[in-house]
Amino acid sequence: MFPGGGRGSGSGRTAASFLRGSLILLICVMFLIAVPVFAAEETLKLPDLIREALKNNPEIHIAEARANGSTHKIPQATSLADPMVMVGYENEGTDSFYTFDRETKGMPADSRWMFSLSQMFPYPGKLALKGEMATRDAESLKAMADATRLATEVRVKELYHDLFLAYTNIDLITDQAALFSRVEDAALARYAAGMAPQQEVLMAQTEKYMLLEREEMEKQKIQSLKAMLNASLGRDALSPLGRPEKPQNIIKSYRLDELIQLSHDRYPMIKSREKMVSAAEAKVLMAKKEYYPDFTIGTSYFARSSQFPDMWNLTATMNIPIFYKTKQREGVLEAEAALLEARRNVEATKLMASSALRDNHAMLKTAENLMALYREGLIPKAYQGFDLALAGYVTGKIEAITAITRLKALIDYEFLYWRQFADREKAAARLDGLAAITDYGADVK
C-alpha cells in the first residue's frame, strides 16, 4: 500500500496517476527498443529456406561425400590382386656372394639368375560377389544420404514453425497487454472514485508485467531458434534471419494406410536397410565360396651360364581349405547371423516408421480438432465472458479478480490455439518425411 492511499483521497489519485504514467512510459520505451529490431527484418519464406538447406547443410554434404566415396570401392572389389614379380640369383657354393669363373669369364656353371611372374585368381564367382557386396553398400549409403536430406527438410520446417509461433506469441502479448490496460483503466477509475482498493490497480499492473516477462522469454527463444536454423542452413550462427511469413493454412488429406505403404516403399531409411540385407545375402554366398580354393598361376625364367641353356617353367598352386570346420564353416555361420540381423533390422525400421506415422497422424488430427474448438467455441466465448466481466467490474457488480481471471483464460486459449497450429504443421512435416514426400527438393524414388 502506498502512503496516503485512502479511498477518494487526493494523494490516492496522485499515486494512481503516477503508477499509470510510469507504466505507460515503460511500455513506450520497450516498444521503441523492440520496433527497430523487428521492423528491419526480412520476411522468411519456407521454400527458400528448404532449398538453401538442401544445398548448404553440412550434414548433407558429409552424407553425400560418404556415398560418393563408397562407389569407388566397387571397381577395387572386382579387381584381381596385384601380380607378383620375383628377381633372384642362385649362387654356386657359400664361400662368396658371386663366384666369377675365370675360364668362361662369367657365372659358374651351376649359378643362375631367376625371374618369375605370378598372378592369383580367385575361385570363379568370388570377384562378382565382392562387387555385389560393394555395390549394395554404396546403394545403402546413397539411401542414407537421401534420408539425411529428408531429415534436414523436416528439421527446417519444424524450426520455421517454432520461430513463427514465437513471433506470434509476441504479437499476442502486445494485443493482450492492451486488454489488461482496459482492466487497469477500470481499476484506476474505481480507485480514484473511492470504489476499489489500490490492490486491484496493482493486481492489473502485475499481470501486465508478467506478460512483459513472457515477451522477453519469447525473444530469447527466437534467438535460440535462429541459431539452430542457421546451423541447418549451413550459415554462420550470427547470420541475420528475419521473421517467418504465416504458413498457408493448407494441410494435405492424409490417410494413414496410404502413408504407411508409401513409407515402406520410399522411406530412405528402410531402403538403406534393405540394401544392407542384399549385401548380407551376397556375403553369405561369398562365405560359402570360401570352401573352394583360389589358384595362383606362375611362370619363371632361369638365366644360366653359357655352358648350359636357359630354362623356364610354368606352375599352378592353390590353397587347400583343410581347416574348414574352424574357419570356412564358422565364416558361413557368421554371415548367416549377420543376414538375420539385417532382415530383423528392416522389420524393426518398418515398425518404428509405422509407429511414428500413427503417432504424428493422431497428433495432426488432434491439433485440427482442438484448433476448431478454440477458434469456434472457447475463444469467442472467452471474449464474451471477458467483456461481460469487465462491464460488471466497471459497474461494481463483480470483483477485479473475476475480470482478470476471465482475461487470463482468454489469453491462454489464444496461446493454445497457435500452439496447436504449430504442432499441426510440424506433425504434417514429420509425416511428409516418414512417407518420403517433399515439396521443395527432389522426390525420393
Q: What is the pLDDT of residues 197-232, one digit of tens each?
A: 666 666 666 777 777 888 889 999 999 999 999 999
3-state secondary structure 151-183: HHHHHHHHHHHHHHHHHHHHHHHHHHHHHHHHH
Can you tell me the mean pLDDT for 142-169?
A: 94
* Single pTM value for the model: 0.78
pLDDT at 387: 73
The candidate with the shortest Cα–Cα distance to 275, out of 306, 148, 267, is 267
Task: Check residue 439 and give its pLDDT.
Answer: 67
Is residue 442 scored above 70 in pLDDT? Answer: no
pLDDT given for residue 42 in this prediction: 77
> What integer pLDDT is reported at residue 298 of this predicted model?
95
Q: Is the predicted pLDDT of residue 109 greater than 70, yes or no?
A: no
Length of the chain: 445
**Predicted local distance difference test score (pLDDT) of residue 155:** 95
Residue type, 134: A
Lowest mean pLDDT among 177-191, 218-232, 313-327, 398-412: 177-191
**Residues 45-65: what's their mean pLDDT?**
94
- What is the chain's mean pLDDT, rounded? 82
The region of weakest confidence among 14-18, 342-346, 392-396 is: 14-18
Cβ neighbors of 433 (< 8 A, separation 6 or more) are 150, 151, 153, 154
What band does 30 get if pLDDT is binned at 50, 70 and 90? very low
C-beta of residue 424 within 8 angstroms of C-beta of residue 364: yes
> pLDDT, tens digit, for every residue of 380-390?
888 777 777 77
Query: Average pLDDT, stretch 120-128?
Result: 94
Give residue 426's pLDDT.
Answer: 94
Across the range 48-75, mean pLDDT stands at: 94
User: Do residues 49 and 429 lie in contact, with contact meaning Cβ atoms separated by under 8 Å?
Assistant: no
Average pLDDT over residues 122-127: 94
Q: What is the pLDDT of residues 353-366, one digit of tens each?
A: 999 999 999 999 99
350 pLDDT above the threshold of 80: yes
Q: Classify strands 84-90 and 112-121 as parallel, antiparallel or unpaired.
A: antiparallel
Predicted local distance difference test score (pLDDT) of residue 414:
87
Is residue 445 scored above 50 in pLDDT?
Answer: no
Give the pLDDT score at 443.
47
Decide if 293 contacts 319 (C-beta within 8 A): yes
Among 166, 137, 425, which Cα is nearest to 281's?
137
Give pLDDT, residue 389.
73
Instruction: Identify the bridge partners of residue 117 per DSSP, sorted by sequence position.
Output: 85, 299
Which pLDDT does position 92 carry in this prediction?
72
Q: How much of the chain exceeds pLDDT 90, in percent?
A: 54
Which pLDDT does position 186 carry in this prediction? 67
Percent of the chain with pLDDT over 70: 76
Q: Each residue of 395-413: pLDDT tens digit? A: 666 666 677 777 778 888 8
Quote the Cα angle for 104-108-112, to 5°: 120
Q: Would you state the pLDDT for residue 411?
A: 83
Q: Residue 191 corresponds to which amino acid?
A: Y
CA-based torsion, 153, 154, 155, 158: positive or negative? positive
pLDDT of residue 65 exceeding 50 = yes
Closest residue by Cα to residue 262 from 345, 342, 347, 350 = 350
Quick check: 267 pLDDT over 80? yes
Closest alpha carbon to 121 in 74, 83, 77, 75: 83
Residue 31 has pLDDT above 60, yes or no: no
Q: What is the pLDDT of residue 95?
A: 62
